[in-house]
Amino acid sequence: MLTPSNLSLRDVAFGHDGLVPVIAQDASSGEVLMLAYANEEALTRTLETGEGHYYSRSRDELWRKGATSGHVQRVVAVTLDCDGDAVLYRVEQSGPACHTGERTCFHRPMANEGEVVPADAFAVLQRVVDQRLTELPEGSYVTNLHERGVGYVAQKVVEEAGETVVAALQGQTEELKGEAADVLFHLTVLLRESGLSLADVARVLLERHEEKRQA
């Protein structure tokens, strides 16, 4: 069960139809997964069970995410926006969030500036490493790292970090990008082998930022 705060359902500004829009966001990567709606019962069920519940406008009924597909959402936080008329579920998503089989419902770009969003890359990196270390497929590089032990993985992080520093000092921009990517990859494996994730590191960074901002 989720830990309650000083806010309650009384603070939610449901619309005239009794619904409020709910955005589901990946708790680890920040990736926006889907937009749906909830009524008071759906929000109550989410808060009580820690699983994503919504209200289907087309079927006119309550539904639990993953009830038929198995792609459930474990909700780790529920947040209201400033006006109380929109809700954010921060979730751990099992499988794809979209009924099309895509990871996120927001997979059809209309316009962009050609920029890569770092969070997208980190989300993919974490998912791939998690999957490889769970399934340990034969021939996988991650499987090989796992079999050689955490000490070897740690050594690879040090090795790649050294090569990253050399590339930076020599002004080798392209090499620097590649070596830095290698550091992040091996660091992600090392974290996972230690029972941690990129989200745990991100949490520390955000906490430090908040502490300095309030100082």
Residue 5: predicted pLDDT: 84
Q: What domains sit in the chain, N to C, each tagged with a CATH number?
A: 9-93 (3.10.20.810), 118-214 (1.10.287.1080)
Residue 133: predicted pLDDT: 97
Of 198, 174, 180, 203, nearest in space to 188 by CA: 198
- The Cα–Cα gap between 7 and 114 comes to 40
Residue 1: predicted pLDDT: 66
Exposed (0-12), middle (13-18) or buried (19+): which is 169, by Cβ within 10 Å? exposed
CA distances from 49 to 32, 42, 115 (A): 22, 10, 38
- pTM value is 0.71
One-letter amino acid of 96: P
10-residue mean pLDDT profile of the chain (215 residues): values are: 84 97 89 96 96 96 94 96 96 92 90 72 89 96 98 98 98 97 98 93 89 82
CA distances from 149 to 80, 81, 143, 200 (A): 43, 45, 10, 21
- The tokens for 132 are 């490889």
Residue 113: predicted pLDDT: 65
Residue 170: predicted pLDDT: 98
Residue 212: predicted pLDDT: 84
Q: What phi, psi does 77 have (nearest 5°)?
A: -160, 145
User: Under a CB-based contact definition with an 8 Å cutoff, are residues 16 and 4 in contact?
Assistant: no
User: Please, what is the Cα angle at 176 between 131 and 148, to 5 degrees?
Assistant: 40
- The Cα–Cα gap between 49 and 114 comes to 40
